[in-house]
């Protein structure tokens, strides 16, 4: 029987800040959201700590000596982390909010930045967004996996659209990989040297909306002790990804529309507007009908955002991508967690490909990570993926599948994953080398 679904383990947090009081404040604020929290005061032991502690997220102070304000030490750390496959997601922290420093940190791989003293709600929201967006590091070079006609068409659209300056609206269900599509647009654009900055619009409180997006001057409101760059300024020269744009309340939609129309923002407390140079890519899981409902979304804002619309297909509409994706993630997590590489049993392959995956690729990825960590047999079985009982029963109750075609697809996927290495492909499939050679001959591969 399939195992009961278990909750995902809490992530690990590493805080690097020379001020012990600041590190302690962050640890106390965030300890309930992480399984373990580790603090460092100097960057000298950071790389060793990453190898030993394996953090999911790093809060990185950009200055490590009294009086420093240029962020040079923190930027050096970001450069070191950029070369590591096991690097955690990074949120940069600084008491100074110069736009240039924020842009440099984002260009070097930070996923966000916060200014000290931070607002607790803002810090928690930034961390939640960073963890939600965290993807396997080795998938970054080729994020849009899958050879189905739908994914081939999507990649062709991205290649056509990315070099332009057109605003892009990405539509798709939760878990299909809308941010990966946005990243692919950025990477193939003329702005690839600039930052890619993602903002979850659904989590921005109305009270801080303008400050977060447009910035503020010191003294512009209570607790505004220092000037702060907004997201539009920090993404200068790059791409600003407005995620979950459909969750933005109508009053905030009007403010965003004004900024897009004028290509200017006015920081809170400032007298004059500032020109912004960003490309807007947005995304929503709202059905398209909802976007055309004036009670949910302004038509004039929609026309600003949807110059080009990219639709990301759900995983249930591209079942031929399931097994190649599973092979990719199983190999990834076997390396990441130091586990043996296990192949799929025929029953497991049928269940995975027959499942409708309401959580899409994200759900498949989580299921593969769980199976990689907890499985004990030499070959993965359906119960290792902890899918709902009805999902397994539905697949098992179907008419016999086209086994020859499925076997050929599985062999081809394993060979591709193993880059032609017969021994590795045999391990992925859970068969001997001799058995794999027979299947290669049988299917003309």
Asked if residue 32 is part of any domain, the answer here is yes
| Distance separating alpha carbons of residues 156 and 160, to the nearest angstrom | 6
Please check the confidence at residue 1 and state whether its pLDDT lies above 50. no
Assess contact for 380 and 348: CB atoms under 8 A.
yes
- The CATH number of residue 113's host domain is 3.40.50.2300
pLDDT digits (tens, 9 = 90+) for 107-120: 888 888 888 778 78
Specify the pairing of strand 274-275 against strand 264-265: antiparallel
| Distance separating alpha carbons of residues 96 and 68, to the nearest angstrom | 10
Asked if residue 141 is part of any domain, the answer here is yes
Give the tokens for residue 326: 């599973």
167 and 305 together in one domain: yes
pLDDT computed for residue 189 by the predictor: 93
Q: Indicate the residue among 311, 340, 372 that finishes a domain.
A: 311
Give the number of residues written for the chain: 445
294 and 402 together in one domain: no
Asked if residue 102 is part of any domain, the answer here is yes
* pLDDT classification of 141: cutoffs 50, 70, 90: very low
| Distance separating alpha carbons of residues 89 and 135, to the nearest angstrom | 9
Per the structure, the complete domain to which residue 329 belongs is given by 316-443
74 and 102 together in one domain: yes
376 and 273 together in one domain: no
Percentage of the chain with pLDDT > 90? 32
- The CATH number of residue 348's host domain is 1.10.8.60
Asked if residue 128 is part of any domain, the answer here is no
| Distance separating alpha carbons of residues 310 and 185, to the nearest angstrom | 10
Please check the confidence at residue 138 and state whether its pLDDT lies above 60. no
pLDDT digits (tens, 9 = 90+) for 302-336: 999 999 999 999 999 999 899 988 888 888 888 88
46 and 194 together in one domain: no
- Report how many domains make up the chain: 3
* pLDDT classification of 393: cutoffs 50, 70, 90: low
| Distance separating alpha carbons of residues 40 and 122, to the nearest angstrom | 23
Please check the confidence at residue 246 and state whether its pLDDT lies above 50. yes
Q: Indicate the residue among 58, 90, 120 that finishes a domain.
A: 120
Assess contact for 368 and 330: CB atoms under 8 A.
yes
Mean pLDDT of the chain: 84
In the block, residue with structure tokens 């040079």: 72
- What are the two backbone dihedrals, phi and then psi, of residue 237, each rounded to the nearest 5 degrees? 80, 0
Please check the confidence at residue 139 and state whether its pLDDT lies above 60. no
Q: Indicate the residue among 296, 311, 326 that finishes a domain.
A: 311
Q: Which residue has better confidence, 351 or 136?
A: 351
273 and 142 together in one domain: yes
Assess contact for 298 and 257: CB atoms under 8 A.
yes
pLDDT digits (tens, 9 = 90+) for 163-187: 999 999 999 999 999 999 999 999 9
79 and 141 together in one domain: no
Closest to 86 (Cα-Cα) out of 59, 48, 124, 113: 48
pLDDT computed for residue 97 by the predictor: 59
32 and 99 together in one domain: yes
pLDDT computed for residue 405 by the predictor: 64
Please check the confidence at residue 290 and state whether its pLDDT lies above 60. yes
Helix axes 346-354, 403-417, angle to 10 degrees: 100
169 and 258 together in one domain: yes
| Distance separating alpha carbons of residues 331 and 337, to the nearest angstrom | 10
89 and 144 together in one domain: no
Residues 6 or more apart whose CB falls under 8 angstroms from that of 108 comprise: 75, 78, 79, 82
Asked if residue 267 is part of any domain, the answer here is yes
Assess contact for 46 and 71: CB atoms under 8 A.
no
| Sign, CA torsion 259/264/197/324 | positive
The answer to which of 46-50, 132-136, 260-264, 343-347 has the lowest mean pLDDT is 132-136
* pLDDT classification of 9: cutoffs 50, 70, 90: low
Vertex 169, ends 319 and 258: CA angle to 5°? 160
215 and 82 together in one domain: no
Q: Count each helix (H run) and each strand (E run) in the chain, helices first.
A: 19, 14
Asked if residue 205 is part of any domain, the answer here is yes
* pLDDT classification of 399: cutoffs 50, 70, 90: very low
Closest to 344 (Cα-Cα) out of 355, 356, 331, 335: 331
343 and 436 together in one domain: yes
Asked if residue 130 is part of any domain, the answer here is no
Asked if residue 197 is part of any domain, the answer here is yes
């Amino acid at each position: 029987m399939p195992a009961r679904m278990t909750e995902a383990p809490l992530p690990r947090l590493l805080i690097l800040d020379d001020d012990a009081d600041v590190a302690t404040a962050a640890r106390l604020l965030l300890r309930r959201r992480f399984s373990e929290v580790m603090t460092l005061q100097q960057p000298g032991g950071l790389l060793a700590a990453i190898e030993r502690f394996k953090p999911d997220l790093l809060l990185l102070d950009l200055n490590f000596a009294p009086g420093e304000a240029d962020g040079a030490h923190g930027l050096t750390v970001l450069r070191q982390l950029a070369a590591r496959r096991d690097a955690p997601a990074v949120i940069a922290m600084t008491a100074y909010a110069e736009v240039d420093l924020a842009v440099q940190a984002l260009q070097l791989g930070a996923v966000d930045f916060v200014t000290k003293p931070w607002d607790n709600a803002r810090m928690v929201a930034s961390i939640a967004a960073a963890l939600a967006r965290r993807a396997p590091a080795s998938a970054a070079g080729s994020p849009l996996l899958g050879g189905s006609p739908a994914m081939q068409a999507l990649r062709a659209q991205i290649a056509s659209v990315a070099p332009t300056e057109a605003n892009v609206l990405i539509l798709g269900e939760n878990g299909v990989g809308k941010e990966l599509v946005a990243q692919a647009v950025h990477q193939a654009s003329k702005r690839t040297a600039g930052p890619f900055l993602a903002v979850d619009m659904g989590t921005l409180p109305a009270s801080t909306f303008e400050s977060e997006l447009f910035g503020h001057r010191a003294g512009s409101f209570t607790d505004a002790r220092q000037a702060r760059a907004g997201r539009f300024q920090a993404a200068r020269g790059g791409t600003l990804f407005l995620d979950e744009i459909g969750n933005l309340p109508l009053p905030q939609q009007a403010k965003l529309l004004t900024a897009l129309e004028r290509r200017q923002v006015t920081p809170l407390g400032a007298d004059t507007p500032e020109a912004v140079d960003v490309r807007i890519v947005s995304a929503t899981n709202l059905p398209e009908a909802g976007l055309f409902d004036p009670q949910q979304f302004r038509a004039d804002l929609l026309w600003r955002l949807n110059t080009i619309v990219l639709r990301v297909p759900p995983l249930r509409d591209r079942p031929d991508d399931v097994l190649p994706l599973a092979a990719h993630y199983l190999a990834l997590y076997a390396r990441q967690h130091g586990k043996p590489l296990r192949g799929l049993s025929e029953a497991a392959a049928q269940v995975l490909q027959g499942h409708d995956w309401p959580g899409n690729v994200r759900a498949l990825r989580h299921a593969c990570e769980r199976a990689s960590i907890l499985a004990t047999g030499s070959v993965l079985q359906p119960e290792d993926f902890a899918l709902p009982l009805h999902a397994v029963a539905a697949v098992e109750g179907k008419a016999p599948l086209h086994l020859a075609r499925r076997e050929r697809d599985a062999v081809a996927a394993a060979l591709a994953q193993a880059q032609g290495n017969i021994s590795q492909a045999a391990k992925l499939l859970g068969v001997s080398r001799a058995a794999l050679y027979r299947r290669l001959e049988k299917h003309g591969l």
